[in-house]
Amino acid sequence: MRWPLIFTGVGLLLAFAVGWQMMGSVAGGLQFFLVASVLAILEISLSFDNAIVNAAKLKTMTVLWQKRFLTWGILIAVFGMRILFPLVVVSVAAHVGPLAALEIAIYEPQLYSVLIHDAHLPIVAFGGTFLMMVALSYFMDADKDIHWIPSLEKHFCSCAGVRGLQIGAVAVTVGMFAFAIGGHEALRFLKAAGFGLATFVAVDYLGNLLDSQGTTGTVAKGGLGAFLYLEVLDASFSFDGVIGAFALTQNLFLIAIGLGIGALYVRSMTIMLVERKTLAEFRYLEHGAFYSILALSIIMFSQVLVPVPEYITGTLGAGFILLSLLASLRYRRQNAG
């Protein structure tokens, strides 16, 4: 936790300085300091399941690619998703160049926030579709032999042999939400969801292709393909946090600082889970994370119809993980010795 703590101190001091500079008072600096702290906590609470899923995938990767993900990956997560992604969204939505989008972020934060929220529907459609495919792919696995909720998960496993069932289930869910939305917005929703589905299929296929080409060299089993998968997965997780951050502030730099602090703690949690082999010690923890992902995907879809507060998303995800942790501890006690 050394580097996250150092970055927390530097980041919060920087947030205070930005607030003091922009608002011209100590009170303004303290306000920015507080908002950055809340954003960091928000990111951590929403991303613990992300850390568990990352750890589950990292344990199948070579040490070299683990290090690459934990260095390059965090740079992409912090600077790519927390800074560049909102700028790209504004650039596309406002039909302006990236530099013009940056000027809007700096000089017209209210307009910047409006443009981000206007792009909310396709963002959650893409992210929700991708995450639902991730969750169903975990549960609809014929080789899965550990079940937290046997009555439900054994049924999922029995469906694994039906080709295309995961895609069909997601398509039906997307169609139901599109029907509820109606009109022109339904078409936008369907297009973005279709892109999310195509991205999952492409990344999954490309990952399997790359990782099957050999066990040596730069493209190794559990290497580049797994790295690409994790990057897209992290991006999908990030959507909810980035959009939710605009409910607290429209300042791009403050959002980047707060969410960046949270992202570094998620990285540290991922390292801890891998190095201490926590997933092996807690039998059902991974299950809780994927139930959380499934719930998050449904929440993201629901946000196009009704507003869902971030505390509900965070509490629900943490609840699944806590319940799976308690079930794991109970299993260990019952099977001790």
Question: What local confidence, expressed as pLDDT, does residue 330 receive?
Answer: 92
Question: What local confidence, expressed as pLDDT, does residue 199 receive?
Answer: 84
Question: What local confidence, expressed as pLDDT, does residue 216 receive?
Answer: 41
Question: What local confidence, expressed as pLDDT, does residue 158 receive?
Answer: 81
Question: What local confidence, expressed as pLDDT, does residue 103 receive?
Answer: 82
Question: What local confidence, expressed as pLDDT, does residue 215 receive?
Answer: 42
Question: What local confidence, expressed as pLDDT, does residue 114 receive?
Answer: 79
- Measured CA to CA, the distance from residue 248 to residue 15 in angstroms comes to 14
Question: What local confidence, expressed as pLDDT, does residue 210 receive?
Answer: 61
Q: Which domain holds residue 193?
A: 2-334
For residue 291, with 0-12 CB atoms within 10 Å meaning exposed, 13-18 middle and 19 or more buried, which class applies?
A: buried
Q: What is the mean pLDDT of each run of 10 residues along the chain (337 residues)?
A: 80 87 84 84 72 78 79 73 73 76 79 78 86 86 84 83 82 93 90 88 73 46 69 71 68 80 79 77 86 86 83 79 90 80
- Measured CA to CA, the distance from residue 105 to residue 26 in angstroms comes to 23
Number of domains into which the chain is organized: 1
Q: What is the DSSP string of 262-317?
A: HHHHHHHHHHHHHHTTHHHHSTTHHHHHHHHHHHHHHHHHHTTTS---HHHHHHHH
pTM: 0.76
Q: Which of 24, 47, 66, 15 is nearest to 227 (CA)?
A: 66
Q: Which residues contact 284 (CB under 8 A, 6 or more apart)?
A: 146, 148, 324, 325, 327, 328, 331
User: What distances in angstroms separate CA 243 from CA 164, 275, 286, 310, one per listed residue?
Assistant: 31, 32, 26, 10
Question: What local confidence, expressed as pLDDT, does residue 240 receive?
Answer: 63
